Amino acid sequence: MRTRPLKVALLGCGVVGSEVARIMTTHAGDLAARIGAPVELAGVAVRRPDKVREGIDPALVTTDATALVKRGDLDIVVEVIGGIEPARTLITTAFEHGASVVSANKALLAQDGAALHAAAEEHGKDLYYEASVAGAIPLIRPLRESLAGDKVNRVLGIVNGTTNFILDKMDSTGAGYQEALDEATALGYAEADPTADVEGFDAAAKAAILAGIAFHTRVRLDDVYREGMTEVTAADFASAKEMGCTIKLLAICERAGDGASVTARVHPAMIPLSHPLASVRGAYNAVFVESDAAGQLMFYGPGAGGAPTASAVLGDLVAVGRNLVGGTTGPGESAYAALPVSSMGEVVTRYHISLDVADKPGVLAQVATVFAEHGVSIDTVRQQGKDGEASLVVVTHRASDAALSGVVEALRKLDTVRGVASIMRVEGE
């Protein structure tokens, strides 16, 4: 073991950063043995220097993050402040001044991952970011390394614990969306402003990262179709149960059938109760991977929180430290395939459509004709009527999103259709 320690700077010391510092201190001997060199916390950049941080020498604390990363003697910079700026500038500055970087910043990596990888390569440094997706769950490294010799065809996952908690509560108790959200907030699962979670922004960033790694193609946040879950109702869950399904907010990344393009999307979907993702409860995450040789794999565990996310950060810290001791770098960006990212209109899946219609003869025939005219095949139909009004539920065979959009537009022009109550994709079959 070499005696000169690896100097580590920590950018951010909140819920995750404080756990990283604690583990570095309490498990220093184990980390040194695993890396092959001691690890020394050399500086901590924070916004509030007067806050008491247990276990951290106040002399290490600074509000000048730029000066910290420019020191020139750092080996690794751990970035857990989040957001686009100043994180982007701090990371590139760290590379320029000789440090490798471990980050948990999903938003930045989804938006500017290619530029960050290029900066790391230019300066011969590592960029690791296991903690950016699904917390403690080992996912990025298996995709980037363990499955590097395989062909990944699909990544289907629950990658946001807040939304899964809300939907699980709606499913198990019959609660409405707002009631379930209020409980999630009270328990600390949801932020005061839950928009990033419930509108799918958080999951979309993670989908961009996963798709890029899985398909060796640059996928940016703007390439990901995003649909939130705020319109999901108790009635949707009742319909799902009648089909033997539940509802999850899913991140779905997949190759087209001919392998010539990829898609990445986030939206609520019905999945059969027989699918492994259907049993993922509470605030847990799980990702289902389908590949040619390995077949079907599922990664499951806590997807957020200080200690779980810090676990992923420290795993990357050990990997980068080993590379530094060995005088090498780990895998960088793999975007050689450069596959085009298709639009949502080209995505093919099944659909569950609930219509409010007039309860009179001929309505079903009119609706069926619209589906047929747009080339969308119907799997099942269920109709219930009362007092001149009826609910008509149609489940399709697989169809493109563009074709289904044409169906919905035509249905809304029928005098006998009072409204489209809900449209839900059906996945996992």
Catalytic residues: 206
DSSP reduced 3-state for 302: strand
List, in sequence order, the alpha helices (H) in 5-160.
15-26, 28-35, 65-69, 87-96, 106-122, 140-141
Collect all residues with Cβ–Cβ distance below 8 Å to 101 and sequence separation of at least 6: 76, 77, 78, 79, 91, 94, 95, 120, 125, 126, 127, 128
- Output phi, psi for 65, to 5 deg: -65, -35
Collect all residues with Cβ–Cβ distance below 8 Å to 234 and sequence separation of at least 6: 170, 174, 175, 176
Pick from 102, 112, 249: nearest CA to 168: 249
Query: How crowded is residue 177: how many other Cβ atoms within 10 Å of its Cβ?
Result: 19
List, in sequence order, the alpha helices (H) in 277-353.
306-326
Q: What is the CA radius of gyration of the chain?
A: 24
Token pair, residue 285, equals 């995450």
**Are the beta carbons of 117 and 92 closer than 8 angstroms?**
no
CB environment 195-213: b (16+ within 10 A), e (fewer): ebbbbbbbbbbbbbbbbbb
Collect all residues with Cβ–Cβ distance below 8 Å to 161 and sequence separation of at least 6: 135, 189, 282, 283, 284, 285, 302, 303, 304
Give, in degrees to the nearest 5, the angle at Cα 259 between 257 and 265: 75
- Output phi, psi for 310, to 5 deg: -60, -35
